[in-house]
Each structure stands twice: as structure tokens, then as C-alpha cells.
Amino acid sequence: MKKVVVGISGGVDSSVAALLLKKQGYEVIGLFMRNWDSSINNDYLGNPNLENSICPQEEDYNDAKAVCEKLDIPLHRVDFVKEYWDYVFTYFLDELKKGRTPNPDVMCNKYIKFDLFVKEALKLGADYIATGHYARIKDGKLIRAVDLNKDQTYFLAYVAREKFANVLFPIGELEKPMVRQIALENDLITAKKKDSTGICFIGERNFTKFLENYLPNQPGDIIDIETKEKVGEHIGLMYYTIGQRRGLHLGGHHEKSYVALKDLEHNILYVASGDENRYLYSSSAIIEEFNFLTDERPDSCTCKFRYRSKDVEIKVKYLENGDLELKYDHAKAVTPGQFCCLYQGEVCLGGGIIKEVF
């Protein structure tokens, strides 16, 4: 009997992944990862309204434990707090300091879930590892999930190619409603549990207040990109991303403004007014540190510049320094620091970090 170590997060997706594997005849072992110290800047500590509450991470562990007990499989717990800080959170802060928009979930998959987790699974004698990601593996290639609304290949494209050799994605062939239905039919405690959203280590907390614990605010001017007039003050460039409309607090005729440009050198946030998005469109970009998942090097394919964005038709030029130059008709709010993932049909070719936008 082949042994599979499943990453059990305390959510419905990983719960159903474990259930399906057990029904398929595998020897299944659950492994819960503790990646963040919830006591750090924890709103639950010293808050009289929440003093009897349990932090979300411990709730997740308790749910994971309940699921494994229900499935009659063992659950192990591993602590990656230091490693997560070193490889994911430090990267997150460094990118913000550069005025860029980081994607910690991509780095978490690369360094934690498909590296450290794999090593821990091997200690438990794993023949395979499995997660609750919406993705598929076919002929050694990473393939989009059946449920395109939940497809997570974008977040997996930075994982080293060889790491997928013994990986199973049990729910990649299913749509989300069916996953929940299976959980309900099998009376799993996570069946109706809300999906986690946002950045995992921030959770439901206020993003600005959280960051103030690590990076000093550097207020500066907000300038209208057309009139060059000062229209307000920002609280720090790290709190804004290209295309953002909420949280600008400009008032007056600038109330429909959006972030058009960040000038890190002069600490200026440029905004544009109205519904016209012309300052957000670009026609080319440079992608650095690209991680190839296949041997294909197509001259044309599609890409995603953000997780929820539609595929963009692109022409690809492979530069001598290893960067990729992408040409396209136009794309909106392509942002340095964000992740770019390339596709050939349903096959994920890999991904890299947006370096420059033109």
C-alpha cells in the first residue's frame, strides 16, 4: 500500500483531498503546518472583546484534528515559523520597501509547502505528497484545474519543476460545489467552513496597522499626474498598489481617482482622475527570475499578470540575461513585484516576477 502525506490545513479542500485518497486505497497521513506565530501582534491578546476566543490558526488545527479523527488517519504537526519568516515574510517586507507589490502565497508554495513540507513528509515515509490545491498533473506537467474559477496553478508556477514528481492533487478534477458536497455527505466538520482569503499572516487584521509593526510610515504627497497639483497626502507608498481606488481619501472631484504611478525616489504617489484608465495600460513587460516548468519555449502563448486576471495573448522574447520580454496589445495594472504566469493552453509553462512595465 502506497503512503501519502497530505497537507491538512483545516479547510474543506484539504479535508476532501485526504478523504478521496483514503477511498482510493492509499495509506494516508495528515500533516499540519504551523507557519506563523499567532501571538505576534495578535489582536486576540489583551482584547476584552476577544479574550475568550481562540486564534484562527488554533481553530484550523482543531478542525484538521477533527477531520483526521473522522477519517481515522494520524495527524502530525510541524513548526515552520522561523523558516516562513526567513523565506516568505522577509521577502514580503523587502519588496514593500522597494515600492513593489509582493505575492507571499507564491513564495510560501515554493519554499514551505513544496520544499520543507516535502522533506518532512519523506521523514514519515511518504511515497507521495498531496495538497488541496485546485490543479492537475498530467505527463509530468502542471495543468489547470477543471474548475477554472478556483484554479491555483498561478500560485504553483514558482515551485521547482522536480518537486512535482510525486505530487497528487486529488481535487483538481472537481469543481468547488462538488468538493463541499462530498464533505457534507461524509459529515466533515469543514464542509461549510468559509474559505480563507487575503494574506495568511495578516488574516482579518487591518493591513495598515499590521505593517506599522515592521515598517515605519513615510508619509508623502499625492500628486495629480495630469495637473501636477498636490491633491492629498499618502501614509506610505507601501500601502498602495497600481490601479487602487479605495483608501485614497482625496474628496472633491478627485473622489474617483486611482493610483497611476509610485515614485519611490521622491516618495510621491501619482493619481489620475475619472473613469478613464489609460494610465493603467501597458504594452510590454520584463519578467525576471523565471521558473520554467516545461522544456517548451514558445514565441507566443498567454499569461496571467494577476491571479484573477484574464489570460493575455503575448509574444515572448528570451533575453540573454535570463529575463523574458513580453509584448502584448494592452493589459491593465501590470505591477512590478507581482507574479506573472505563462500558459500554453491548459499547460502552465512556469512563472516569474514582474520587473519592469512599459
Active site positions, annotated? 108, 200
Alpha-carbon radius of gyration of the chain? 22
Q: Are 171 and 13 in contact (CB under 8 A)?
A: yes
* Interior/surface letters 86-112, b for 16+ CB within 10 angstroms, e for the rest: ebbbebbbebbeebbbbbbbbbbbbbb
- Taking CA atoms, 44 is separated from 40, 205, 215, 274, in Å, by 10, 10, 22, 41
Amino acid code (one letter) for 282: S
Helices 176-185/12-23 angle, 10° precision: 70
Helix (H) or strand (E) holding 73: none
Q: What is residue 3's three-state secondary structure?
A: strand
- Which residues are 90's β-sheet partners? none
* b/e sequence 206-241, b meaning 16+ C-beta within 10 Å: eeeebbeeeeeeeebbbbbbeeeeebbebbbbbbbe
The SS3 assignment for 111 reads helix
Rounded to 5 degrees, φ, ψ at 286 are -105, 130
**Which residues fall within 8 angstroms of residue 141, CB to CB, at 6 or more apart?**
293, 294, 347, 348
